[in-house]
Structure 1
Amino acid sequence: MRTSYQYRLKPTKEQSSIIDNTLDMLRGQYNYQLAQRFDWYEQNRCSIDRCSLVICHIPELKNKPNRLSQQATLTQLKVDRPWYKGIHSQVLQEVPKKVELAFDKWLKDDSQGKKSGRPRFKAKGQYKTFTYPQFKQHHFVGNKITLSKIGIVKVIVHRQTPDGFEIKTVSVTKKSDGYYVTLSLDDQTVPTIKPDFEANNIVGIDLGLIDFIVTSDNERIGAPKFLRKAERKLKSAQRKVSRTKKGSNRRKKAINQLGNQHKKVADTRKDFHFKTAKTLLNKYDVVAVEKLNIKGLAKTRVAKSINDAGWGQFINILTNKAENAGLKVIAVNPNGTSQECSSCAHKVKKPLSQRIHNCPVCHVSLCRDWNAAINIKNRGAHGLKAQSMSS
C-alpha cells in the first residue's frame, strides 16, 4: 500500500537559496527539453513523405526525443554548464520524465478520445517541486532529513510515519508560505480487514452542491463553499497584484499574499474532507459512493461549485483512510440513482430543479438526494455481496 506524508521544512537562508536555485535551474532544463520536443514535432508532423522531381522542400527528419535520449545529454550539460553539478543526478533525471509525461498527454488521446492541452513553458517561480526517486531510510531521523546537495534540513514532524512503511521517494516543494517535504511511503504487506468488520454496517452517500453529503440514513452535511466565501478576499488580493509593477518587490509580496489566500482555502477544504471521512468511518464499516466522472462535470456550467466542493479529493481521502483502518469504500454505477425509486425501483424522470422524489407507483415521497443515497447503498450492498462470492 502506498501513502504520502507531508512535513514542513525549516531550512537555513543558505539552504533556501540552494533550493530556489535548484528549482530555477530545473525550470530552465524543463523548458529547453520541452522546446526540443516542439522542434521535432514541427519538423516531422507533415503527412507528405515524398518530394517532387524538381525541388525538395522537406527537411531532413530528426529522431524523436525521448526520456532516455534526453537523460543521456545531461552528462554533457554538466560539462557545458558546470553549475548544474550542484544538482543531484537523479533529481536532474526526473526532468525528462516530467517533459515526456506532459508531451505525451498532449499528443495521445485519453480513454475517451480527448487530448490534453499543449504543455506550456514554465515562467520564473512556476517550477515548484523536485524529487529524489531513491532515498535511504537512515537519512530521515528524528526531526532532521538529509537531502543530497542541500544538507541536513530541520523538519517539523507533526506526526510520526507509520510502522512497517518504507520511504520510497522524497519530494521538496516550495509553496507560498515556505518549503515542504513529501515522503512517499510503501508497505508491502496486504492491508488486513478489521477483526470485527461488519459488511451489513453499510451507508450510501450522495455527493451534492447544496448538501456536501446526504447519507442513506438521511443525515446531512452542508456544503461549506470555502472558495465562494473567500472570493472577496481573493479578488482584493488579485487586484493588488494587478496594480503593482512587474518585477518589483511590491509585486512579489502581493503575489505571495495571493498565494497564501489560495493555500488557506485549499487547506481548510482538505481539513474538512479529512474530518468528514473520519466521521463516516467511525460510524460505518462500508461506505458506498458513486463512481462519478468529475472531470466531465467540471466542464459544465457549475464547474466552479464542483471544484469548490472537491469531490475527487474527498473520495481519495475516504478510500485511503478506509484501507488504513481495515474498512471498505465501494464505488457504484451512478446512472439513474436519482431517477430510480428506492422503494419499488420504478423510473421516475424529473428535472434537476425538482428536489422531491414522488413515485406514482408506490406513492413514496422523500428528498431526491436521500432517495439517491438509498439507491447507492443498495447497489453497494449488492456489489459487496458479489465480491465476497467471487473471492
Structure 2
Amino acid sequence: MNRMPWMPRHRRIAHAAGLVCAGLLWTAAPVQAQNDWRRTPVPVYTPGQLVAGLQGDGLAAAGRFARDSQALAEALRQRCSAVQSTSARPSSAPASALAAPRAAWLQATRSWERQSAVALGPLIEQQSLRQLDFQPTRPALIDKAVAARPRDGAALERIGTPAKGLPALEHLLWTRPVAAGTPECDYAVAIADELARAADGLRTAQATLAAPDVAARELDEAAQAQTLAAYAEWVNQWVGGLERLRWAQIGKPAASGRPTDFPRAASASTVASWAAHWATLRHMSVHDADGAPADGALVPFETQLRSKGLNPLADRLLQAVRAVDASLPAARPGAAARSAAAVRALGTLKHLAENEVATALNVTIGFSDADGD
C-alpha cells in the first residue's frame, strides 16, 4: 500500500482538498434513527456532519479531563496542607492519607487516556501527549526536579517535560509517596496545578472548533478544506491510536520482559489504562445500538461504511473489533500468551483499518508518531 509522509495539520489543509471525490463529499440527508440499521439503509452523512460529531465528542472528553485534573490538583493540595501528627516523620505517608489523591490521579488519568487515545486537533498542536504524559517515567529526573524546589512558574518552566505530567505524579504517589511538609509534596502540587491549567487550555481550544452551523460551513470553500483535513486527520490518528495500543503499550513492553516498561506500572493500573484507550478506539470504530447515531453525535466508521453501502466491509470491521473485545480483557503484564493474543487481534484490526477501511473512506494513510520499532 502506498503511504505518504505524515504532515503537520496546518500543512494538510490544502492537501486534504485534493482528497475530494464523489465518494467523500456525500449528499446531506436528515439523520433519523433506523429500526434495523444493519439491514435498512442508514442516513448519508456529509463530512461536515461527521467532523461536527467528532468535535462535539472531543469537547465532552476535554471537559471531563479538565474537571478531573482540577480535582486531582485539589486532592494533592489538601493532602500536602494536612497537619502532620507529632509522632509522624515528615517523609512518612500512610496509605490512608494517600487514598484520596491516588483515587483522583486514577480518575484523571483514565479521563486523559480516553481523550488522548486518538490524538486530534489541540492535542497535536500543543504536543500534549509529550507534555502531559511523557513515557517512560524518568525517576532520576523527577528526583532532581524535586531537589531543585521550583518556587514559581518561571522556575517550573525550566524543568523538563520528562519530570512532569501524569507519570511524575504517579511516581510521587506510589513509588516515592508524598507526605505533608516535604519537597515532594510541594512539587507534586506545583505540577498538578500545571496539569490542570494545561487541561483547561485543551478544553478551551477544543471549544473553538465547535461548528454550530454545519450547513453554512459546507458552503464555504475554505471551511470545506478544513473539514476534509480534520476528517483525514481523524482516520489517520485512529489508525495511529490502534498501533500505539498494540505495540507501544502492550507488545513492546511485553517483549522487553521488564515489568516497569508497562504503562502505569507503579499504580498497578496497566490493564485499566489499556481498557480506557480501547474504549475510545472502539467507540470510534463501531456502533452497538440498533438505531443510527443521534443527530449531532459521533458517527463511527462502521456506520460510515454502511451509509456508503459497504456492509460486507462494515461487517468485517465489526468482527475485527469483537476479536479485540474477546482478547484484550485477558491480557496482563507477565501473561505473555494472553498479551500476544491481544496484540494479534489489534494488528488484524489495524491492518484492516489502514488497508481497506481508510481506502473505502477515501483517506490516504500517512506516517504518524505511532509508527516505529
Give the TM-score of the pair, scaled to structure 1. 0.23
Structure of higher RCO (CA pairs closer than 8 Å, 6+ residues apart): 2
Q: Which has the higher strand share?
A: 1
> Considering only CA atoms, is the larger Rg found in Structure 1 or Structure 2?
1
Q: Which has the higher helix share?
A: 2
